């Protein structure tokens, strides 16, 4: 039976980090307005209940409410927003750099050495195939030896799983800067595409 490749998507081994940025931005968009609302909600003279005693809010009550409520929510929201924006900018810069290296860089074919587990773990949710536990993301390490005998070790971006069973003879395309060997981009998906492509069904 032949698989209709128009109805499935090609497997990408690169871990998508956009979801992390979006979650942080969403948290920031929620926490920051709450902090602003809390800091503006309580005004001097407004009736409040403290220790079961209802009384008008004083200047010190307003200050404490703004520091505890508005400060905590506002600062957390601002931190989430800043981190999310920084991650998005870094991801965009990395993507442009990868495209530049593939277009203008030097292609070398390296040998896959091993797959190194990272400290980043993802999962722990119910997916299409039932309960999925946490799993560690990994890096692919590969080496390239020049004609002059120099050996370079390259490390891929974070990968969803070990791609070595799908590599063509254990070879990996690496795009390097034309002048120096760095920056570089280990093209795991492109290396798998040279042989038999891997699809998600």
pLDDT tens-digit readout, 3-15: 444 444 555 677 6
Higher pLDDT, 123 or 37: 37
What are the tens digits of pLDDT across the range 142-175?
999 988 889 999 999 888 888 888 887 889 999 9
pLDDT of residue 10: 55
Task: Spell out the SS3 assignment of the chain.
Answer: CCCCCCCCEECCCECCCHHHHHHHHHHHHHHHHHHHHHHHHCCCCCEEEECCEEEECCHHHHHHHHHHHHHHHHHHHHHHHHHHHHHHHHHHHHHHHHHHHHHHCEEEEEEEEEEEEEEEEEEEEEECCEEEEEEEEEEEEEEEECCCCCEEEEECCCECCCCHHHCECCEEEEEECCCCCCCEEEEHHHHHHCCCCCEEC
> For the chain, what are the domain ranges?
15-99, 105-200
* Residue 126 CB contacts under 8 Å (≥ 6 apart), including other chains: 132
pLDDT at 82 > cutoff 90:
yes
d(CA 80, CA 23): 9
Residue 45 phi, psi (nearest 5)? 95, -15
pLDDT at 130 over 60: no
Please indicate, yes or no, whether the overall pTM of this predicted structure exceeds 0.85: no
Plot region of 170 (φ>0 → left; ψ -120 to 50 → alpha; else → beta): left
Residue 175 has what pLDDT?
Answer: 94
Task: Answer with the residue of higher pLDDT: 133 or 111.
Answer: 111
pLDDT in tens, 99-117: 999 999 999 999 999 888 8
Structure tokens at 179: 């002048």
Per-residue pLDDT tens digits for 33-77: 888 887 777 777 777 777 777 888 788 878 887 787 777 888 889
């Amino acid at each position: 039976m032949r698989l209709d490749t128009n109805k499935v998507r090609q497997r990408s081994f690169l871990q998508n980090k956009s979801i992390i940025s979006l979650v942080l931005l969403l948290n920031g968009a929620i926490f920051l307005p709450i902090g602003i609302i809390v800091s503006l909600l309580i005004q001097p003279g407004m009736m409040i209940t403290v220790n079961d005693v209802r009384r008008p809010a004083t200047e010190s009550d307003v200050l404490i409410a703004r520091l505890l409520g508005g400060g905590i929510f506002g600062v957390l929201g601002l931190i989430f927003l800043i981190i999310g924006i920084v991650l998005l900018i870094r991801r965009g810069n990395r993507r442009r750099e990868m495209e530049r290296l593939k277009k203008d860089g030097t292609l070398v074919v390296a040998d896959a050495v091993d797959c190194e587990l990272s400290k980043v773990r993802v999962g722990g949710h119910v997916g299409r195939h039932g309960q999925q536990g946490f799993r560690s993301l990994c890096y692919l390490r590969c080496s390239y030896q020049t004609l002059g005998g120099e050996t370079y070790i390259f490390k891929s971006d974070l990968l969803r799983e070990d791609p070595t069973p799908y590599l063509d003879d254990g070879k990996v395309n690496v795009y390097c800067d034309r002048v120096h060997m760095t920056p570089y981009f280990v093209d795991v998906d492109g290396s798998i595409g040279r042989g038999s492509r891997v699809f998600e069904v």
